[in-house]
Amino acid sequence: MLKIRDLRVAVEGKEILKGLNLEVGAGEVHAIMGPNGSGKSTLANVIAGRDGYEVTGGQIEFMGKDLLDLDPEDRAREGVFLAFQYPVEIPGVANIALLKEGLNAARRYRGEKELDALDFLKLVRERIKLVDMREEFLYRSVNEGFSGGEKKRNEIFQMAMLEPRLALLDETDSGLDIDALKIVSGGVNALRSEERAVILVTHYQRLLDYIVPDRVHVLAGGKIVRSGDKALALELEAQGYGWIDQATGAAA
């Protein structure tokens, strides 16, 4: 589904990703772990198409298409979803208005009919239960005045509505207490399917107790330096990231 080859990305002239390779298949959950500043968030943002990330080399292929060739809105419509590390507060734009616009834009893109108000509302009511949010949140401005946990739940709710093929969860666990973490993880697990891939970007192993990954990668110095199964995450938890400096130092 997702094939990243030798990806090089610079931010403000500084190279952050230095030849990253990654393949994620449909139905798989991959965790990207690594120390702060290793480029984890850069990877998530560059896949989603955020401005300010300059791709200086390499390719990203998504569902057989050149992803880097697509505008960010078209990436979303092709099925890429980024759950933000810091969900943005947007006063005056109702949650439900954003969802309706986003969902119908994707349907138009795929040549499908827009959902009528009734079907849309039915879908909304069904999906909002996944993250245990009250319906009043639908009519509130996007993330405005939401607690940290409510913001992250709202991200997963949006994911549930937009039904992406590839979900990128950027530090979704950060700032969550244990109850919120359980709700968010529950939502993500409910959305796991054969057709959907998930990339979890996280600093901590904690999230992976609740969303068990198929593969774990360690990103350091702009490259993936180790890959393994879920046992690797536990190893990292025990050892920390200190060993990486030695490993990459030795390799260089």
Partner 1 sequence: MDRSGNWGCCLMSVSEASAAAYVAAHREKHKQLPGGGIAALDAQRAAALEQLARQGLPSQRDEDWKYTSIRSITKSAFAPAEPGGDCPAAFIEKHAIAGLDAWRLVFVDGFFAKTLSDTSGLPGGLHLGGLAEGIRSDGARLSTHLGSALGPIPHGFAAMNSAFVADGALIEVEEGLKLERPIELIFVSGVGGEGLLSLPRNLVRLGAGSQATVIERYLSYSEGRGLNNALTEITLDDRACLDHCVLQTIGERSFHVGGVFASVAKEAILRSTTVTTSGALVRNDARVNLDGELATGHLDGCYLAFGRSHIDNHTHIAHNHPSGISRETYKGVLGDRGRAVFHGRIVVKQDAQKTDSEQSNQNLLLSDEAEIDTKPQLEIYADDVKCAHGATVGQLDETALFYLISRGVDRATARRMLTQAFAADVLNGVQCVPLREHLQSFTAAHLDAVLSDQLSDR
Measured from the CB atom, is 128 or 216 closer to partner 1? 128
Residues 203-242 close enough to bind partner 1 by CB under 8 A: none
Residues in the chain: 252
Shortest Å, Cβ 71 to partner 1: 8
According to CB under 8 A, which one of 56, 69, 109, 114 is a site residue for partner 1? 109
Shortest Å, Cβ 179 to partner 1: 26
Q: Work out whether 48 is an interface residue with partner 1 (CB under 8 A).
A: yes
Q: Work out whether 11 is an interface residue with partner 1 (CB under 8 A).
A: no
Tokens 């996280």, residue?
Answer: 202
Distance of CA 129 to the CA centre of its chain: 21
Say how far apart CA 112 and CA 186 lie, in whole Å.
Answer: 30
Nearest CA-CA partner of 34 in 232, 219, 239: 219
Residues 114-143 close enough to bind partner 1 by CB under 8 A: 141-142
Say how far apart CA 38 and CA 171 lie, in whole Å.
Answer: 13
Taking residues 53 to 92 in sequence order and writing x for each that binds partner 1 by CB under 8 A, - otherwise, the string is: ------------------xxx--xx---xx-x--xx-xxx
Q: Work out whether 151 is an interface residue with partner 1 (CB under 8 A).
A: no
Residue 20 backbone dihedrals phi, psi, to 5 degrees = -95, 135
Say how far apart CA 56 and CA 140 lie, in whole Å.
Answer: 40
